[in-house]
């Protein structure tokens, strides 16, 4: 399994945002929607072996974690607006402490970044995508992998400390800094090439 | 200079589409908007050495070519909706035979795919991104490069014949088929790594 965790530091945590204003009023939710696209779309198919966690930390109900599982997901299209509608539907669900299914392959919970790390670290190798890491093309990686990224802001010091405490690999994709969704695309290409 | 040509076989050629329906009524314009994002955005900056040509072939006024130049572009944001608004503004312009500027760095003309090839082939090496090409990591490339891609449909036989007649390099990015915007992201990462 390939997994991605993307932290949205200001991303909306209720479903009352407008689909016309996802880059503004929804706290740069647009970035996270493009990450769903990058993680799951192949030409004319879906990456069934891939899953993405969006950790939303904006107002009014932080945290919320949206999980999109490629092996189950339905009704997903590549454009931002329709993906935003699916995420909004998930954020409109009434939540207790359990993760619930919003639509096929799309789940929502109150999990925090640390809780997501705690859930995944025992079953998956964490990989921190960061500018000063080891060149990805020279880094051995296999098995279940979970790549951790942030939105347009870096991980906070405390988030980074929580991640580092779980002993991730730290890799870089190249000499320039990319948007999170572009990082996902480049990372998956590297894994695709390894077969 | 790095350039991308993306053919939108059904993409709208007038500005009367709705920003809420760019994946539908605008003939999968959403794909082309994501290509603009992939070609031009770095984290917190723009690729000033990159240019993208969108060749729109849908109704009602085909062809239209939108050119976005990274060294000049302004008011460009990464989300699909705001980029769609800039493209719509360009398509609302009255056109004669000359290319005209719609907004800083965004130009529109009646050029066809073949005319764009004719304009670029004398100054730039054409590169066809295609599944059965040579592995990009083993292909020498430098100087001014123009990468040619298609939307969710392959180039037509006649489009491909026009391209092949201009002796492009043909390269592949990996073992799987990707969306056009993902191809651009992977291609640019490869070039970034070569410096």
> Does A43 contact B152 at a Cβ distance shorter than 8 Å?
yes
How do residues B164-179 score in pLDDT, each as one tens digit? 999 999 999 999 999 9
Distance from CA of B107 to the nearest CA of A (A): 24
> Does B44 contact A175 at a Cβ distance shorter than 8 Å?
no
When pLDDT is cut at 50, 70 and 90, the band that residue B39 belongs to is: very high
Instruction: Report strand pairing: A106-109 vs A64-69.
Output: antiparallel
How do residues A56-97 score in pLDDT, each as one tens digit? 999 999 999 999 999 999 999 999 999 999 999 999 999 999
B177 interfaces chain A, CB cutoff of 8 Å? yes
Query: If contacts are CB pairs under 8 Å, which of residues 113-152 in chain B contact chain A?
Result: 152
How do residues B64-108 score in pLDDT, each as one tens digit? 999 999 999 999 999 999 999 999 999 999 999 999 999 999 999
A178 interfaces chain B, CB cutoff of 8 Å? yes
**Residues paired with residue B107 on neighbouring β-strands, in sequence order:** B67, B101
- pLDDT for the residue B14: 97
Closest in A81, A174, A189 to B174, CB measured:
A189
Per 3-state DSSP, what percentage of chain B is helix, strand, and coil (rounded to 5)? 30, 25, 40
Distance from CA of B181 to the nearest CA of A (A): 9
* Beta strands in A39-192, from DSSP E residues, in sequence order: 41-42, 45-46, 50-56, 64-69, 100-103, 106-109, 125-135, 145-150, 169-172
Query: If contacts are CB pairs under 8 Å, which of residues 52-111 in chain B contact chain A?
Result: 77-82
Closest in B41, B44, B186 to A189, CB measured:
B186
A153 interfaces chain B, CB cutoff of 8 Å? no
Closest in A79, A179, A186 to B186, CB measured:
A186
Distance from CA of B98 to the nearest CA of A (A): 32
Q: Are B89 and B96 in contact (CB under 8 A)?
A: no
Exposed, middle or buried: residue B185 (CB in 10 Å: 0-12, 13-18, 19+)?
A: buried
Closest in A44, A175, A193 to B192, CB measured:
A175
Task: Kindly list the residues from chain B whose CB atom is less than 8 angstroms away from the CB atom of residue A182.
Answer: 38, 41, 185, 189
**Residue B180 host element (H or E):** helix B180-194
Say how many C-beta atoms besides its own lie within 10 A of residue A167's C-beta: 9
Task: Kindly list the residues from chain A whose CB atom is less than 8 angstroms away from the CB atom of residue B38.
Answer: 182
Mean pLDDT for chain B overall: 97
How do residues B115-142 score in pLDDT, each as one tens digit? 999 999 999 999 999 999 999 999 999 9
Task: Kindly list the residues from chain A whose CB atom is less than 8 angstroms away from the CB atom of residue B77.
Answer: 23
Q: Measure CA A92 to chain center.
A: 19
Q: Are B158 and B165 in contact (CB under 8 A)?
A: no
Residues A120-141 have a mean pLDDT of 97
- pLDDT for the residue B74: 98
Distance from CA of A136 to the nearest CA of B (A): 11
Closest in A31, A81, A176 to B20, CB measured:
A81
Residues B35-54 have a mean pLDDT of 98
């Amino acid at each position: 399994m390939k997994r991605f965790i993307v932290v949205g530091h200001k991303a909306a945590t209720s479903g009352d945002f407008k689909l016309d204003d996802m880059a503004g009023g929804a706290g740069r939710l647009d970035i996270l929607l493009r990450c769903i696209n990058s993680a799951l779309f192949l030409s004319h198919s879906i990456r069934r072996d891939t899953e993405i966690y969006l950790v939303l930390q904006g107002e009014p109900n932080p945290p919320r974690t949206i999980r999109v599982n490629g092996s189950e997901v339905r009704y997903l299209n590549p454009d931002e607006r329709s993906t935003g509608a699916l995420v909004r539907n998930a954020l409109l669900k009434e939540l207790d402490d359990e993760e619930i299914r919003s639509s096929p392959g799309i789940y929502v919970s109150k999990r925090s970044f640390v809780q997501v790390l705690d859930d995944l670290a025992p079953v998956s190798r964490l990989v921190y995508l960061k500018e000063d890491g080891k060149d990805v093309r020279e880094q051995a990686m296999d098995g279940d992998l979970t790549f951790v990224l942030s939105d347009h802001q870096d991980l906070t010091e405390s988030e980074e400390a929580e991640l580092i405490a779980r002993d991730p690999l730290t890799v870089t994709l190249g000499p320039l800094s990319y948007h999170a969704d572009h990082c996902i695309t480049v990372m998956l290409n590297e894994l695709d090439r390894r077969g």
